[in-house]
Structure 1
Amino acid sequence: MYKLLAFILIAVCSASCVSTQKAEERAHARRVSQLRVVNAMSKRPIKVDVDYMMPRRVPAQHLTTNYSLTIFNDSVDSYLPYFGVAYQSNLADHMQSPLTFTSKVSNLTIVKSKKNAFHITFSAKKGNELFDYELLIFDNGKTQIQVQDSARESIMFSGNLVLPELIKCGNDARLKQ
């Protein structure tokens, strides 16, 4: 009986040590992820790979093509699809998405919120259309994008911030400079 009790006690202690170690590993991985997001936000370009689209009247869809949004110092490269109602259409686009363009940005603001998220807003012009972009980048790199235009219904996207690479240094992971 004593051996069984000792075995159970050792097993419980071992399990608690393993769970504590796993929690510490998860906390360390989260801190490294947060550091990578802050580092990516302090540099340009800021690139978001988009994998999910949420139009207003059409069901949300996963995207199979590599759509992205890249913000440079003074311009944006928007390669996003559009599904929804257009109040005005531009026949010169020839069936191209209205959210596919490269343009100068205006009113670019980047603010870090209280919950360790970054809030980015800017406007970009394509021809006669003015698009208002609003990005919310969380500390784990997950991103939500909302695009509004006076000629179309707004649309939302979600994706991931492209993070800088890590260099492994023994047990320590450091950001590539």
Structure 2
Amino acid sequence: MKTLFKIVLISILSINLLDTASAQTEKQIRDAAKIAEGKEQLDNRTFTFQARYMYPLGGGQRYLNTDYDVRVTKDSVIAFLPYFGVAYSGAGYNSNEDNGIKFTSTKFDYKSELKKNGIRYVTIRINDSRTTNQLIFNISPNGYTDLSVNSKNRQNIRFDGMLNDKSKTKK
């Protein structure tokens, strides 16, 4: 009876170990595919950043439950992001065009740099927006992204999110 119990116990443990190893392998394959997809999109200069959190310079963190994003293609940058912070002189209050960070740019400079730790820094200097100067993306290999938005007449603001987050893409 004891030997039968030992055999059953060893069998259950073996099956459990094999199942865990298989799940790890599948996760590694999915992660590798996601990394390759993100790298290809960054190399082609076509990606979408989905914002999940915003961090105003004045402090505090705000969760974003609406689809806010920045879409980058070879010939345009389209930003639709919220803004919460201090506006300086020349910034309008209570006008529809000055609420949030909303612009479409076709005149921009794109610079991408890959660091040794796998983090890619993408800097986009906007040349035809009257409010936004620069977008700085820090993109990890698995798609987690930190975006800093530098403005001409507002405090800078930072966003966290994902590159091409399929769960929040617009249909």
TM-score, structure 2 length as denominator?
Answer: 0.82
Give the corresponding residue for 1:131. 133
- The 8 Å contact of residues 105 and 122 in structure 1, kept in 2 or not, is answered as no
Does residue 65 in structure 1 map to residue 66 in structure 2? Answer: yes
Alignment partner for residue 116 of structure 2, among 111, 114, 117?
A: 114
Of 11-20 and 93-102, deviating more is 93-102
Q: Which amino acid aligns with 1:102?
A: T
RMSD, aligned α-carbons: 2.3
Report the residue type matching 1:37 in the other structure. Answer: G
Deviations 1:61-100 (A, max 9, x none): 1113221111222431111111111122433881432521
Q: Which SS does the other structure have where 2:155 is aligned?
A: strand
Secondary structure of the residue that 1:59 maps to in structure 2?
coil
Structure number with higher strand proportion: 1
Partner of 1:30, secondary structure, is helix
After the TM superposition, which residues 77-116 of structure 1 pair with which residues of structure 2 at under 5 Å, given as runs?
A: 77-91=78-92, 94-95=95-96, 96-97=98-99, 99-116=101-118
Aligned residue identity for 2:115: S
Structure 1 range deviating more: 97-106 or 20-29: 97-106
Q: Say whether 1:56 aligns with 2:57.
A: yes
Structure 1: gaps spanning 5 or more residues: 165-177
Q: Judge conservation of contact 2:150–2:156 (CA < 8 Å) in 1.
A: yes
2:20 corresponds to 1:2:
no
- 5+ residue gaps, structure 2, are 167-171
Distance 1:52 1:88 in 2: 27
Offset of 1:39 from its aligned partner? Answer: 2.0
Answer yes or no: is the 8 Å Cα contact 2:53–2:62 preserved in 1.
yes
Q: Secondary structure at the match of 1:153?
A: coil
The aligned counterpart of 1:21 is 22
What is the CA-CA distance between 1:37 and the residue it aligns to? 0.9
Identity of aligned residues (%): 21
Cα 1:157–1:105 change in 2 (3 A) is farther
TM-score by length of 1: 0.80
Check the 8 A contact 2:91/2:153 in 1, yes or no: no
Partner-residue secondary structure (3-state), 2:122: strand
SS in 2 for 1:33: helix
